[in-house]
Chain A
Amino acid sequence: MRLLLIEDERKVADVVARGLRAERFAVDVAYDGKTGWEMASGVDYDLIVLDLMLPGLNGTELLRRLRRKGGKAPVLVLTARDGTGDKVENFEAGADDYLTKPFAFAELLVRVKALLRRPPVGRDPVLRVADLEVDHLTQQVRRAGKRIELTSKEYALLEYLASHAGRVLSRTMIIEHVWDESFEGLTNIVDVYVRHLREKVDEAHKCKLIRTIRGTGYCLTDEAET
């Protein structure tokens, strides 16, 4: 997979590129709008990560040109502006997703993968992590074959964690997916729900699946802890 990153802030560009390369993506970087446009129109990238405030050619304009030219690569817009008007304008210009700075890299990665239509798990309606089974269709959860009763929020949380198994999910991402934007800033609600979820999912088992990643968030994984 070949990605183009257009970002004028060198440090942001470098750290994002490094992170994406670590995930085995081929990443090209453009530090200004003009170069970005030349690269985007010359190579058929699988995905473009685009900053909006660019010298030379601004991101929204670049996006418009790309779409006019028939460029089909999904575009993930990165920006420090988060007014509703900006969002609408860029979606209309042809953006596929939107991420506001400062973002967690984990979230960028999840979104990039979602845009590349590479779901983290197969089409099987049942998500499996070690001996945990989460059934999309029936919303039933089993651990070691034993049925676990969950409330709807607990289920939504577990499903979100399981569908991104092995990935670290920040509290903000969890809130956005499981709750809604009104709960932003209320990160302790995530902690409380995770604690309840642990009591039901992990307590009776030796292998603890739900991990706390200090400073970042939570992760559902069966990998041994380091």
Chain B
Amino acid sequence: MTMRSIRFRLIAWYAGLLTGVFVLLGVLMYFDLKFFLESNLRDTQARRARQIADILVARVHQTGERYVATEIKDLYEPEVNDRYIRLTRADGSTAYVSGIPSDQSFDPTHLPALSSSRKEFSQKVHLPGNTTLLIAALNYQTPEGVRYLIEVGAPFDPVETMLDHLSLQLALGLPIAVLIAIGGGYLLVGRALAPVDQIARKAEQITQHNLSERLPVARTADELERLSLSLNHMIGRLQDAFLNSKRFVADASHELRTPLTVVRAELESMSSNRKLAPEFRETIGSVLEEVERLARIVEQLFAISRLDAGESQAEWVQFDLAELAATTAEQMSLLAEDKRISVSCAAAQPVLVDGDRARLKQVVVNLLDNAIKYTPERGRIQLRVTASNGYSVLEVSDNGIGIPANALPHVFERFFRVDKARTRDPEGAGLGLSIVKSICTAHGAVVEVESNGVGSRFRVKLPIARANKFS
């Protein structure tokens, strides 16, 4: 998921930035071109106006207006070139005006008169029929002092057509370019993150049971390679720590058992002495009971540690959980009868599971024992084994004293007791449910507890047997 979102975020940012840059570039390009084309057109017209002034209008005194008009027509051929040229006298009358251009886009005779006090100026004139003329005008005074207004114009439409074309190209090209970039980016980011995906998938598979395995090292000589190497070093350190704790358990096991053996044997040999006064024998018996309890706690703790350290699955077989539950309940029925508790067992259908039969039996024993302990006389306990959604479910529910909500999350913790005062099992050490939890974890099973004030319900969800190994 994270990986997906990194990819998505990278590409979103990338696409956003790219679009921004493209739009900015497009806008700049558009206005730059527009400015360039417009000023270019204007300069051309203005130059032409100055040419007309310098070459023809300056000598109008000698040549006469008619000659000037003919010369303009011959030299510039405004009609053929789709140009517009007008020569206006100071009194506003027209000395010359070009004819209708060959493309007939405008009618020069209908143009309004322009006037400005400036010597040179330009103006865009919109004409009916959606034509725009860019006109450069020159207020000119001949050496003899006669004033003329020389106007040279050209249609602005080619510029506009060109700009429209450009904006169309930008509007079409930009999204395509961005899409291509996103596609390329998606592939590139995917390739760059592929090692991360591999590492994540492998890391997911590594548990305390296969700590000797390592993550694939991305040979990219970059951060990813460093990351995979550091993670592998970390797994190495974890492995060392696990090995150390396993060794510690084995050592502690030996060290604690030997003194316990001595204490126990000495006490036993003392208590079997027939000359011993009864009150001493009683005392020794009491101490022996505590030694017994201590030995049992040590045993259970080591059992939990071994389970947590991951036992081999060598003793796993496929068996019917329903049958196991039913026979175990039968074996424990007298314990329940003793408190007049009725135990009903709903486990008719065979439910096959893979696992260590003796260990899973211990789960049933501990859960039933727990239920019997915390259910008052004449209570009810229900044991149920069902199969649903690929799980085998073992459920032990009772109508006993239940578990307070604040204690629920802790019942599987080692040495946890809901309330020291109300326990009816002075011999227990609060390890029974921890063992249940450890056995379940070693079997890939989940154990849950719920209690709504009246009674409690323990549920063990085991993965159902994969294939029938009997056949």
Contact = CB atoms under 8 A, between A and B. Distances in A.
Interface of A: 9, 11-12, 15-16, 18-19, 22, 53, 80-85, 100-106, 151, 153, 168, 170-172, 179-189, 192-193, 195-196, 213-216, 226
A9 B258 contact: yes
Nearest to A181: B358
B271 A216 contact: yes
Interface of B: 250, 253-254, 257-258, 260-269, 271-272, 274, 281-282, 284-289, 291-292, 295-296, 299-300, 306, 312, 314-315, 328, 331-332, 334-335, 338, 358-359, 361-362, 364-366, 369, 425, 427, 432
A81 B302 CA distance: 10
Contacts of B335: 188-189, 192
B253 A80 contact: yes
B242 to A, nearest CB: 16
Contacts of A19: 265, 268-269
A183 B265 contact: no
A145 to B, nearest CB: 27
Contacts of A103: 261, 264
B381 to A, nearest CB: 15
A8 to B, nearest CB: 9
Nearest to B359: A182
Contact of B267 (A171, A192, A215): A215
Contacts of B284: 214-215
A102 B268 contact: no
Contacts of A106: 268
Contact of B285 (A82, A84, A193, A215): A215
6 contacts: A103-B264, A170-B292, A184-B299, A185-B296, A185-B432, A215-B271
Given A181-B358, A186-B365, A192-B338, A12 B261 contact: yes
A81 B284 CA distance: 28
Given A192-B335, A216-B288, A12 B271 contact: no
Contact of A15 (B262, B282, B300, B364): B262
Contact of B260 (A102, A105, A180): A102
Given A80-B254, A215-B292, A153 B331 contact: yes
Contacts of B268: 19, 104-106, 216
A196 B334 contact: yes
Contact of A214 (B253, B288, B315): B288
Contacts of A192: 334-335, 338
A179 to B, nearest CB: 7
Nearest to B432: A185
B287 A215 contact: yes
B369 A186 contact: yes
A226 B358 CA distance: 41
B51 to A, nearest CB: 110
Majority secondary structure, B binding face? helix
Nearest to A187: B427
Q: Would you list the 5 A-B pairs with minimal beta carbon distance, nearest first?
A: A214-B285, A215-B288, A215-B285, A102-B260, A182-B361
Given A182-B362, A189-B335, A214 B282 contact: yes
Contact of B334 (A9, A153, A186, A213): A153
Given A185-B300, A185-B432, A11 B262 contact: yes
A18 B265 CA distance: 10
A19 B265 CA distance: 8
A80 B292 CA distance: 16
Contacts of B257: 80, 100-102
Given A16-B265, A102-B261, A216 B285 contact: yes
B265 A188 contact: no
B99 to A, nearest CB: 114
A210 to B, nearest CB: 16
B261 A101 contact: yes
Given A153-B331, A193-B334, A216-B285, A188 B425 contact: yes
A7 B219 CA distance: 56
A213 B338 CA distance: 22
A217 B166 CA distance: 102
Contacts of B331: 153, 179, 183
B220 to A, nearest CB: 43
B368 to A, nearest CB: 9
Contact of B250 (A81, A172, A181): A81
A77 to B, nearest CB: 14
Contacts of A214: 271, 281-282, 284-286, 288-289
A188 B254 CA distance: 27
Contacts of A171: 292
Contacts of B300: 185
Contacts of A196: 334
A193 B250 CA distance: 35
Given A15-B265, A15-B266, A22-B269, A185 B332 contact: no
